[in-house]
């Protein structure tokens, strides 16, 4: 296959899915929705479907991709601050499990569209819990300053309104505090916040059928070869120990990165090794168009040279795009590298292929499970 391309190791994905099943089983009435924004490649979706996970979507395109891959509408939840009318219509037609509603204005539109179609929309309100996820500013979502969700003081009146609307069925509350969270403390804080909100609502006579705690569990980008299964045990333990669920209540998770990051790597070829006055550059044929995370979030992806075992040298690994931020790594040690060597950027299964672009009129990367 022409480089650059994504290689997915379905064995790693399978082990990851089994680990989630094993450790989430300690919780009752639990539903895992895979956050399809992390990777929508059908190669990845099939094993996830086989494990009976549901899907978490943030666009009509994602809803459609989930349906095309065979997921049942009743397993799909749909979040996002800016759902367009056609996206709402599509989800209503299909009869998805739940809209995660982010504002009163959106509630009004869903009511209006549902009435036109004579349907009833299941909804949950996304709560902005004001919990700090201690992660990169661009992927923190649960702070009052972020655009996501409804602030707690505004919750009760909007729930009352939803309950009174004829084409809306109010189901519960939804949270998502951020992504690439590697410590358990923010999840514990989230649990306390969920309990607080639930107690508050209950004291006002509002009962919840479902609680959705979102996703956000991080992965080990530093040691992906040795530590490729995220710590699902500690993660689900936190919720089991801290969340005060009511009898019969359903608990939903929306994990993305933790499911698919470690099963994917970006394979690229060295075009040139260029000697600068103070630096040596390895110029590869993949760039920020295939994997934008380093340019966008200063993200670190471990880089290995699959073709060389020579002595180590210091390099900057850069792409071919005409942007100075098109850099994968600076001053890293790699075995002596030459034109034609094959390089792998690890842990690229999540937010890699889905965030690819055609900038500089490049072709979108292909993907394979065989390499």
Binder of ligand LLP out of 179, 198, 289, 337 (CB under 6 A): 179
Going from the C-alpha of 342 to that of each of 64, 268, 283, the distances in angstroms are 35, 6, 12
The Cα 34–Cα 146 span in angstroms is 23
Is residue 79 at the binding interface for ligand LLP, with CB under 6 A as the rule? yes
If phi > 0 it is left, if psi is from -120 to 50 it is alpha, else beta; for residue 361 that is left
Binder of ligand LLP out of 216, 230, 320, 365 (CB under 6 A): 216
Radius of gyration for the alpha carbons in the chain, expressed in angstroms and rounded: 22
Binder of ligand LLP out of 47, 186, 230, 256 (CB under 6 A): 256
Binding residues for ligand LLP, how many (CB under 6 A)?
21
Footprint of ligand LLP on 86-125 (CB under 6 A)? none
Binder of ligand LLP out of 44, 190, 255, 286 (CB under 6 A): 255
**Which residue in 53, 60, 91, 92 sits closest to 75, CA to CA?**
53
Written as six digits, the tokens of 56 are: 């978490």
* Helix/strand/coil percent split, the chain, to 5: 35, 25, 40
Binder of ligand LLP out of 62, 87, 231, 254 (CB under 6 A): 254
Q: Which part of the chain contacts ligand LLP (CB under 6 A), choosing from 12-20, 83-91, 104-112, 213-221?
A: 213-221
Is residue 347 at the binding interface for ligand LLP, with CB under 6 A as the rule? no
Binder of ligand LLP out of 257, 265, 301, 362 (CB under 6 A): 257
Written as six digits, the tokens of 158 are: 């909007």
Is residue 291 at the binding interface for ligand LLP, with CB under 6 A as the rule? no
Binder of ligand LLP out of 4, 47, 186, 215 (CB under 6 A): 215
Footprint of ligand LLP on 25-44 (CB under 6 A)? 35, 38
Name the residue with tokens 């649960």: 142
Residue 335 DSSP SS3? strand
The Cα 289–Cα 286 span in angstroms is 7
Q: Are strands 98-101 and 121-128 parallel, antiparallel or unpaired?
A: parallel
DSSP H helices, 118-204, are: 155-164, 185-203
Is residue 129 at the binding interface for ligand LLP, with CB under 6 A as the rule? no
Is residue 62 at the binding interface for ligand LLP, with CB under 6 A as the rule? no
Is the Cβ of residue 297 or residue 371 nearer to ligand LLP in the bound state? 297
Q: Which part of the chain contacts ligand LLP (CB under 6 A), choosing from 8-16, 82-90, 106-114, 249-257?
A: 249-257
The Cα 272–Cα 341 span in angstroms is 10
Q: Which residues bind ligand LLP (CB under 6 A)?
A: 35, 38, 56, 79, 139, 141, 176, 179-180, 214-217, 254-258, 293, 297, 351
């Amino acid at each position: 296959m022409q480089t650059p391309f994504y290689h997915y190791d379905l064995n790693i994905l399978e082990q990851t899915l089994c680990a989630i099943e094993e450790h989430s089983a300690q919780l009752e009435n639990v539903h895992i929705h895979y956050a399809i924004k992390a990777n929508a490649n059908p190669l990845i979706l099939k094993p996830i479907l086989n494990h009976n996970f549901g899907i978490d979507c943030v666009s009509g395109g994602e809803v459609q991709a989930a349906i095309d891959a065979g997921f049942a509408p009743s397993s799909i939840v749909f979040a996002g601050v800016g759902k367009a009318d056609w996206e709402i219509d599509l989800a209503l037609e299909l009869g998805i499990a739940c809209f995660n509603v982010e504002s009163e204005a959106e509630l009004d539109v869903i009511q209006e569209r549902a009435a036109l179609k004579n349907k009833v929309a299941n909804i949950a309100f996304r709560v902005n819990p004001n919990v700090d996820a201690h992660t990169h500013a661009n992927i923190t979502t649960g702070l009052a300053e972020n655009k996501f969700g409804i602030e707690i003081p505004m919750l009760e009146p909007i729930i009352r309104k939803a309950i009174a609307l004829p084409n809306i069925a109010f189901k519960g509350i939804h949270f998502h505090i951020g992504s690439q969270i590697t410590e358990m403390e923010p999840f514990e804080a989230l649990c306390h916040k969920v309990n607080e909100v639930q107690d508050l609502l209950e004291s006002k006579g509002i009962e919840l059928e479902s609680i959705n705690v979102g996703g956000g569990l991080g992965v080990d980008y530093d040691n992906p070869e040795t530590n490729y299964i995220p710590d699902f045990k500690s993660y689900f333990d936190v919720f089991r120990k801290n969340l005060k669920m009511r009898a019969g209540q359903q608990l939903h998770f929306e994990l993305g990165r933790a499911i698919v990051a470690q099963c994917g790597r970006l394979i690229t070829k060295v075009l040139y090794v260029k000697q600068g006055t103070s630096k040596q550059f390895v110029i590869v044929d993949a760039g920020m168009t295939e994997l934008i995370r380093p340019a966008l979030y200063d993200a670190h992806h471990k880089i290995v040279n699959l073709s060389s075992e020579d002595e180590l040298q210091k390099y900057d690994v850069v792409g071919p795009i005409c942007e100075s931020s098109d850099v994968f790594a600076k001053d890293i040690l790699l075995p002596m590298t030459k034109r034609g060597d094959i390089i792998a950027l690890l842990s690229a299964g999540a937010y890699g292929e889905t965030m690819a672009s055609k900038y500089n009129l490049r072709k979108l990367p292909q993907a394979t499970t065989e390499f």
